[in-house]
Amino acid sequence: MSVVERSSDAKDNTWALNVTPPVNSATVGAGLDGEEGAKQLHSGDYVVQVSYRERIKFGDLVVGRESSTVVPFSVK
């Protein structure tokens, strides 16, 4: 899960969370393991990207799938 500010000078994630097992909600700045970046979001336009990936090993072969969605939002 990541949040990126929508601006022409944005170069990387504003906030990110990488956890196992998957979660169904997260709060920016909550201090969860795997959280990095901003402790709060200031007024502005952002996008949130939520991804899920799973992989299964079959001997030397790894089979996986990944799904992702991106949704714009604003903080006022």
Domain count, the chain: 1
For 13-45, how does the pLDDT look when each residue is reduced to its tens digit (9 = 90+)? 799 999 887 788 889 999 888 899 999 998 999
Which residues are CB-contacts of 50 (< 8 A; sequence separation ≥ 6)?
Answer: 1, 68, 69, 71
pLDDT for the residue numbered 8: 76
- Taking the C-alpha atoms of residue 56 and residue 63, their distance in angstroms, rounded to an integer, is 5
Consecutive H or E run containing 57: strand 44-58
pLDDT for the residue numbered 19: 86
For 50-64, how does the pLDDT look when each residue is reduced to its tens digit (9 = 90+)? 998 899 999 999 999
For CA atoms 6, 76, 73, 12, the dihedral sign is: positive
Which residues are CB-contacts of 8 (< 8 A; sequence separation ≥ 6)?
Answer: none
Question: What range does the domain containing 8 cover?
Answer: 2-75
